[in-house]
Structures are given as structure tokens and as C-alpha cells.
Amino acid sequence: MTSQPATRERQRDADRTRAEILEVAQHEFARHGYAGARVDEIAALMRTTKRMIYYYFGSKEQLYIAVLEKAYAEVREVERTLDVEHLAPVEAIRTLAELTFDHHDAHREFIKLVAIENIHQAEHIRKSEALGNLGTPVLDLIERILDAGTASGDFVTEADAIDVHMMISAFCFFRVANQHTFGALFGRDMTAPEHRDRQRGMVGEMIVGYLRGGGARS
């Protein structure tokens, strides 16, 4: 009943408002897709109004792009802090795979946003100046691990860094992104701890098995 101290009543804070809009918008877009997301619903879930969305972001589409940019920026930040190069090549790539697994497991909304963006043929990413053709730090890291592994003789398969990145990402992405159809069809909840732990081991074994050449023909 008693009101807050006068200074905290309806205090103005552009950064905070902007940040809150982005956060709520990320939830809404991830939950309902771009077309399914409702600007009014985003507004309703905030302590401010729809007017502010347009004040700070201009349109639903620009808000969505801003959400994408923020989400990708966070991922890049994580990738930049990866530190596996002190390990031997085999352990390095296995650890990278497992950390990628953990990261995907922990960032479901980012994965949904990427899936949504792909449904729209990445048209919004292409519209974003911040996101176009930027690549990602892991690629260099993978490149170096592959070189080291080839030099040491641990890796037999000649592999391309982008391919390896895709192989790891595919596994980690799929089990989160497709958990619902998979669950509905096979009755297995892939997010359950026992499956998660086993699958975490699988990524590593898969990628190392591939690079060691265990699957080579004849």
C-alpha cells in the first residue's frame, strides 16, 4: 500500500527500458515466431507501454532484428572466451564439442530464434549491418586445432573447419531445436538428465571418431 521512496517512483531510465523491452521481446519472439509474436503482448509483459517499443525501435521488424543482434552478440562473447588450446588436439576438439553442447543446452531461446530466422530465409540477418558476413571466432579456433591434430598425426581425416563446426553444431542444435517433434514421435524427452549426459559424451566421440578416420571406407 505504501508507495516507494519518491525518487524510485516512476524513475526514468532509457537504458533500463530499452533492455527490458529487448528481454521481453526475445521471450515473445522465441515463443511464437516472428509473425506469431504480438507487439501488444510484449508491451503487456513490461512495466512500460507499447509506445516505448516504437520510440526505441521504430517497428516490430527492427525490434526483432535488435533481439537477434543481441542474442548473437552474447554467443560471440562466449566463443571469444573459449580456452582449449592448451589441450592436446584430440582433447581440445572433444572439449570444444562438449562445451558447444553445454552452450546449446543452456541457451534454448537463442536456438529458437535461429530456427525462426531460418524459416524466414535469414532475411532479417541479411538486413542487419551488425550481423552480415561476420563469421565467428570458433572457426579460427577449430582451424588451429585441426592443423595441430594433423601435424601430430592424431587426425587422419582431412577436414574443413566449417564442416567440423557444422557437424558439432548440428548435433547440439538438433537435440534442442527438435526436441518437441522428436518427443512427440518417439516418446523420448531428450532434455531429461540421463539422455543429456549420454548425448554429451556422444558429440565428443562422434567428432573424434570422425577425425581419427575410424569411418573411412575400406
Q: Taking contact as CB under 7 A, which single stretch among the options 8-16, 65-73, 90-98, 103-111 is the one that binds DNA?
A: 8-16
User: Does the protein bind a copy of itself through residue 193 (CB under 8 A)?
Assistant: no
Interacting residue with DNA among 50, 103, 108, 144 (CB under 7 A): 50
For residues 171 and 206, the answer to whether their CB atoms sit within 8 Å is yes
* Contacts by 55-60, CB closer than 8 A, 24 or more apart: 56/14, 56/17, 56/18, 56/21, 57/21
Sign of CA dihedral 93, 99, 104, 105: positive
Q: Which residues contact 161 (CB under 8 A, 6 or more apart)?
A: 139, 140, 142, 143, 146
Rounded CA separation 126/132 (Å): 6
* Binding-site partner at residue 210 among a copy of itself, DNA, none, CB < 5 to 8 Å by type: a copy of itself
* Cell digits of residue 152: 601430430
Please state whether 157 falls in left (phi above 0), alpha (psi between -120 and 50) or beta. beta
Q: Taking contact as CB under 7 A, which single stretch among the options 58-66, 109-117, 126-134, 196-204 is the one that binds DNA?
A: 58-66
Q: Which residues contact 104 (CB under 8 A, 6 or more apart)?
A: 111, 169, 172, 173, 175, 176
Interacting residue with a copy of itself among 88, 106, 119, 151 (CB under 8 A): 119
Q: Which of residues 26-45 bind DNA (CB under 7 A)?
A: 37-40
Interacting residue with DNA among 26, 29, 30, 60 (CB under 7 A): 60
Interacting residue with DNA among 61, 83, 197, 205 (CB under 7 A): 61
User: Does the protein bind a copy of itself through residue 117 (CB under 8 A)?
Assistant: yes
* Binding-site partner at residue 12 among DNA, a copy of itself, none, CB < 5 to 8 Å by type: DNA
CA geometry: angle 199, 202, 204, nearest 5 deg? 125
Q: Which of residues 18-77 bind a copy of itself (CB under 8 A)?
A: 32-36
User: Does the protein bind DNA through residue 123 (CB under 7 A)?
Assistant: no
User: Cβ 103 to a copy of itself, closest distance in Å?
Assistant: 16
> What is the contact mask toward DNA in residues 189 to 218, using x (rule: CB under 7 A)?
------------------------------
> What is the contact mask toward a copy of itself in residues 123 to 142, using x (rule: CB under 8 A)?
--xx----xxxxxx--x---
Rounded CA separation 181/183 (Å): 5
CA geometry: angle 191, 189, 23, nearest 5 deg? 45
Binding site for DNA (CB under 7 A): 10-14, 16-17, 37-40, 47-52, 54-55, 58-61
